[in-house]
Structure 1
Amino acid sequence: MIKRILIFLCLISFQINFAQSLVSDNTIVSILTVGTADASHSLYGHTALRIKDDSKNIDLVYNYGMFDFSTPNFMFKFVKGDLQYYAAAYPYDDFEYSYRFENRSIYEQVLNLSNAEKEALINKLDVSLSSDDKYYTYKFIDRNCTTKVIDIVNEVLEGKPIVKKNIDSKTYRDVLFPYVENHFYQKLGINIIFGHRVDDQATIMFLPLDLFENLKTTSYKNKPLVTETNVIFEANRPSAFSFLDSIYSLIVVLLLFVVIKKKAMQMTFFLILGAIGLLFSLIGLYSLHQEVLWNYNVLLFNPLFLLLLYFMATNNEKWIKRLSSVCLVFLGIYMVYMLNKVHLFIVAPIVITAAILLFRLIAPKRFSIGRGRTRPY
């Protein structure tokens, strides 16, 4: 509570100081880029704005990535896509301390702005804290901490010079894929929950490190927009291989479903895939996030597996074979569609396992013979 009061008083003091006198050459405006970390909310880094003026004893960070875990129905709002993020300003020392504590790199790019542009930007920042603009509906690609910083800086610059330059054939999924290189199950989860939207060409600059690289070559009024780049903190994040968090551990688990030819194992496998597929389908109907809509991964994580479980439980061999054949066709369509997708390799073990188990249900005499008689599963 005391900390919040101090921050509030600091903001009031900041606004009064700038109301009394215009900004000067001592006023520094910079974009801060924070590196990645292991937690799901920190996988892609962070962007913020810094306003510093030593002559007025001012050093504040404007952060558009704030959200409140205590928000009622937080998880439902986050999944649905109507969770309100908000802007906040607080002392730079607190900002730096928190990310040093998390062992995340901090980079600063000082912007080459005129005093009039600095003043216009500071006024816009103040308005964004004291009006309805303080809150915004978070969108993973279209509206986040990075895009908000880009938008508010571009508003005070002629011609909106901060734009994505390195546009090529890469999709958003291609761009995101390397960020979870050492976190296999996070990589798997992210790629199967995302649908068709992230396979579009990456034309929006929405990642902090992408903005950081683009700013290096951004010109404004025939001069570099960034006059100085400072490495405030360089994190040492060793990447150690973990078998448990790798594709090899997934393969071992899937091999158990293939090798142990028990009906219970088959049913468990189809229950897991079917339940995940049902969840994806419900999220697609419920959520406003474009990234999770039209999720073709339900062809692999097929909700029809849940219906197949019913026929397996009732030993209805006729419908077991029919539904297994239908699921196998969907699996084939999925594989064809996935041929040019970057996450094909990480889902391939699941696809192969599902295909083997479905073939066993379709032709049990070929795939499951023991003790002189044919077993149905």
Structure 2
Amino acid sequence: MKNKIRYILIFFLSTATFSQTVSLSEQAKVSILTCGTGPESYAMYGHTAIRIQDVALGLDVVYNYGAFDFSTPNFIGRFVKGDLQYFITNESYIDFYYNYQAENREIIEQELAISPIQVKQLFEQLNASVYSNERFYTYKFIDRNCTTMVVDKINNTLGNQSIKATTSNQSYRELLYPYMSNFYMKLGIQIIFGTKVDQPASRLFLPYEFKTALSKTRVNGKQIEKSNETILKARPTSVPFNWLNSIYSLIGVLLVLALLGKKWIPIIYFTLAGLLGLFFSLVGLYSLHDELLWNYNILLFNPLLLFYAWYSFKEQKTKTKLVGKLILGCLAVYLVYMINKIHLEIVWPFMVLQIYWLLKNVLKKD
């Protein structure tokens, strides 16, 4: 991911170095570069790029579809809405290599067994994108990112949909889940996603999944992968277990809230949870991200909790119990629906706390 200043420098530098009129030699070759993950949110899933080399011309350039501009006005709002513009850049391979070396992220290179004509065709398509308005595209988490754009370019060059997902027996959510090492980031992402990420992963959208698919793909009976080599190894790092960044801290906080026994604590909790559910309900109307639509987690962070909190605050016992029963019913439905969902293991503490507080109130005799 590059900022605006670097993009401008790269753009003008590459314009002077690699023009669209360059004619590749028969020695030119194409590789897919799969880059390792990083601690930043944008690097959490890795990265995919295309490398084109031509020893005869002294050309060695990497094309990236993962660039964006942090200084874009209303950056966060546009990202949430789903109309943030990403763009393709090109840079020298050595600059690309040193950048990932500095970030301690591995690079795996897979050379493709395609003809010189196909290499030239791909090179021309990539340059056409870089030096025109085609370089901009609207980012979509699953359907249009640094990996899917490369997949589409390679498939277009091959003339068919040769490279396909090999993990359709898993959902998008199940593929994403292991990449999220930060517990609270994982929690936030899992509860904001809706039903789309529970669908079978028919789209190649993750770098390492694409790498695996390339190794298995055959075109006209021949393997598309000519070679597979780790050209940059990341230094081993060990991250000590952090209790504060784990489910144990969440359980601890919720347990303390339950044991304190103060009347105002459930009221504040249910108000915040209800507001979160209201956000989940409305963000789908605002956002163009399909991943945020039909979010069944509103059964857990239920907007009805706002009414429950209000009636509890006003000590309207009859209405409080009625709404509480409705919410318990929603939680029962949620539990049944979540039985086979991978993120049940991180949301269950909220379910237990809510059921405890609700039953305590609903079963209490007047």
Q: TM-score range by the shorter chain?
A: over 0.9
Task: Give the 3-state SS of the residue equivalent to 1:262 in structure 2.
Answer: coil
CA apart distance, 1:5? 4.3
Q: Secondary structure at the match of 1:140?
A: coil
Shift of 1:120: 0.5
1:14 and 2:43 correspond:
no
> 1:5 & 1:109 partners in 2: Cα distance?
28
Matched, 1:65 2:59: no
The one-letter code sitting in structure 1 at the alignment partner of 2:26 is D
1:212 matched to 2:216? The reply is no
1:222 is matched with which residue? 221
Q: Could you tell me which amino acid in structure 2 is paired with residue 176 of structure 1?
A: L
1:327-338 correspondence to structure 2 within 5 Å = 327-338=327-338
Superposition misfits of 4+ residues, deviation over 6 angstroms: none
Matches within 5 A, 1:19-58: 19=21, 22-58=23-59
Distance (Å, rounded) in 1 between the aligned partners of 2:9 and 2:352: 58
C-alpha displacement at 1:6, in angstroms? Answer: 6.1
| Counterpart Cα distance in 2 of 1:175 and 1:249 | 25
Mapped contact 2:7–2:89 kept (Cα < 8 A): no
Long gaps (5+) in structure 1: 366-375
Q: Give the drift of 1:183.
A: 2.1
Query: Counterpart of 2:177?
Result: 177
User: What is the CA deviation profile of residues 26-75 of structure 1, one whole-angstrom value per residue up to 9, with x for unaligned ones?
Assistant: 32211111111222221111111111223322221111111111111111
Instruction: Look up the equivalent residue of 1:240 and give its one-letter code.
Output: P
Look up the match of 1:293.
Answer: 293
Answering whether residue 263 of structure 2 is matched by residue 259 of structure 1, we say no
For residues 227 and 2 of structure 1, what CA distance do their matches in structure 2 show?
A: 33
SS state at 2:73 partner: coil
Structure with higher Rg: it is 1
CA offset at residue 171 of structure 1? Answer: 1.1
1:308 aligns with: 308
Once the two structures are superposed, residues 316-370 of structure 1 have per-residue CA deviations (whole angstroms, 9 ceiling, x without a partner) of 12211111111111111111111111111111111010100111221335xxxxx
Q: 1:141-173 CA deviation, whole Å, 9 max, x = no partner? A: 1111111001111111133321223432x1111
2:319 corresponds to which letter in structure 1? W
Give the TM-score normalised by structure 1: 0.91
Query: Structure 1 residues 121, 255: CA separation in 2 closer, same or farther (over 3 Å shift)?
Result: same
The answer on whether the counterparts of 1:257 and 1:269 sit within 8 Å (CA) in structure 2 is no
Deviations 1:59-103 (A, max 9, x none): 211111111111111111110111111111112222222222222
Residues 11, 90 of structure 1: 8 Å contact kept: no
Q: Secondary structure at the match of 1:62?
A: strand
1:230-253 Cα offsets, whole Å, 9 max, x none, are 212222242432111111111001
Q: Size of the alignment, in residue pairs?
A: 361
Q: Are the aligned partners of 2:36 and 2:46 in contact in 1 as well (CA < 8 Å)? A: yes
1:6 and 1:297 map into 2 onto residues whose CA distance is 43
Partner of 2:339: 339
Kept in 2, the 8 Å contact 1:31–1:111? The answer is: yes
The equivalent residue for 2:272 is: 272
Q: Partner letter of residue 248 of structure 1?
A: Y
* Residue 76 of structure 1 pairs with residue 77 of structure 2: yes
Counterpart Cα distance in 2 of 1:222 and 1:291: 36
Residue identity matched to 2:16:
I
Counterparts of 1:156-167 in structure 2, within 5 Å, are 156-167=157-168
Q: TM-score, normalised by structure 2?
A: 0.93
Deviates more, 1:3-12 or 1:318-327: 3-12
2 CA distance for matches of 1:203 and 1:26? 35
The Cα of 1:7 is off from its aligned counterpart by: 4.7
CA contact (8 A) 2:24 2:57 kept: no
Determine the C-alpha separation between the residues in 2 that align with 1:271 and 1:233: 50
**Higher mean C-alpha deviation, range 302-311 or range 353-362:** 302-311
How many angstroms apart in 2 are the aligned matches of 1:219 and 1:275?
51
Residue aligned with 1:340, SS: coil
> Contact 2:11–2:89 (CA<8 Å) still a contact in 1?
no
Moved more, 305-314 or 323-332: 305-314
Unaligned runs of 5+ in 2: none
Tell me if the contact between 2:61 and 2:91 (Cα under 8 Å) persists in the aligned partners: yes
Query: Identical aligned pairs, as a percentage?
Result: 43
- Structure 2 equivalent of residue 90 of structure 1: 91
Quick one: which amino acid aligns to residue 119 of structure 1? K
Q: Equivalent residue for 2:151?
A: 150
Question: Does 1:107 pair with 2:94?
Answer: no
Contact 1:108 1:229 in 2 (8 A): yes
**One-letter amino acid matched to 2:257:** F
Match of 1:370 in 2: none
